[in-house]
Amino acid sequence: MGAKKANRDGLIFQHFDLENFSKTIDNAMIHDVNGFPIDVFPDCIQKLIENARTTVLFNPDYFSAGILSTVATSMGSAYSLNNGSFSVMSILWLTIVGRRGTAKTHPLSKAKEPLENQDSKSYLNYREELKVSKSSTGIDDTRKPTFKKFLLDDFTIEKLVELLSFNERGVMIFQDELLKWVNEFDKYRGKGGDQQAYLKLWNGSIYSVDRKSSDAIRIENPCVNILGGMQTELLKTLATNRTSDGFLDRFLFVIPENPKPRLFTGERLDTALFENYCRIINNILGFEGHEIFVGPKCLDIYKSWQHKKAMEVDNDDLEHAIQSKMETYIWRLALVLETMHQASIASFKKELSEDVLHKTIRLVEYFRIQALKVHDKLATYDPIEKLNAIERELYEKMPVKFKRNDVLRIAEEHHMSNSSLDRFLKRKELFDNRKKDKTLSYGVYKKIYY
CATH code at 161?
3.40.50
Residue 4 falls inside a structural domain = no
Whether the pLDDT of residue 410 is over 70: the answer is: yes
Please check whether residues 143 and 32 belong to one and the same domain.
yes
| Mean pLDDT rounded to a whole number for the chain | 86
Looking at the fold, whether 330 and 366 belong to one and the same domain comes out as yes
Residue 44 scores a pLDDT above 70: yes
Residue 52: inside a domain? yes
Q: What is the dihedral of CA 59, 198, 80, 72, to 10 degrees?
A: -20
Q: What is the 3-state secondary structure (H, E, C) of 178-219?
A: HHHHHHCCCCCCCCCHHHHHHHHHHCCCCEEEEECCEEEEEE
Confidence band of 141 (pLDDT split at 50, 70, 90): low
Q: Do 28 and 365 meet the contact criterion of CB atoms below 8 Å apart?
A: yes
> Are 373 and 429 part of one and the same domain?
no
pLDDT at 250 over 60: yes
106 and 85 fall within a common domain: yes
Is-above-0.85 flag for pTM?
no
pLDDT at site 449: 86
Residue 3: inside a domain, yes or no?
no
What whole-number distance in Å separates Cα of residue 311 and Cα of residue 302? 14
Least confident of 135-144, 229-238, 371-380: 135-144
Say whether both 358 and 392 belong to one domain: no
| Residue 62 belongs to a domain | yes
Within-domain flag for 300: yes
Interior/surface letters 231-247, b for 16+ CB within 10 angstroms, e for the rest: bbeebeebeeebeeeeb
Give tens-digit pLDDT for 333-392. 999 999 999 999 999 999 999 999 999 999 999 999 999 988 887 876 678 877 888 888
Q: Which pLDDT value is given to residue 216? A: 81
Which tens digits make up the pLDDT trace of 296-323? Answer: 999 999 999 999 999 999 888 889 999 9
Is residue 244 domain-shared with residue 316, that is, in the same domain? yes
- The predicted pLDDT at position 436 comes to 72
446 touches 398 (CB < 8 A): no
If asked whether residues 365 and 428 sit together in one domain, one would say no
Distance CA 253, CA 248 (A): 10
pLDDT above 50: residue 12:
no
pLDDT at 15 over 50: no
Judgement on whether residues 310 and 374 belong to the same structural domain of the protein: yes
Question: Taking Cα atoms as reference points, which of 110, 96, 2, 109 lies closest to residue 48?
Answer: 110
Residue 7 lies in a domain: no
Q: Do residues 447 and 430 lie in contact, with contact meaning Cβ atoms separated by under 8 Å? A: yes
Residues 399 and 331 in one domain: no
Which positions ≥6 away from 160 have C-beta within 8 Å?
A: 152, 171, 173, 224
Q: What is the mean pLDDT of residues 80-98?
A: 96
122 within a domain of the structure (yes/no): yes
Q: Which of 380, 397, 429 is the last residue of a domain?
A: 380
389 in the same domain as 290: no
Residue 344 and residue 405 in one domain: no
Boundaries of domain holding 75? 15-380
Examine the fold and report which residue of 330, 351, 380 is the final residue of a domain before the chain moves on: 380
Residue of higher predicted confidence among 383 and 222 = 222
SS3 350: coil
**Does some domain include residue 8?**
no
Number of domain units in the chain? 2
Cα(52)–Cα(111) distance, integer angstroms: 11
Claim to verify: residue 185 and residue 48 sit in the same structural domain = yes
**Among 322, 348, 380, where does a domain finish?**
380
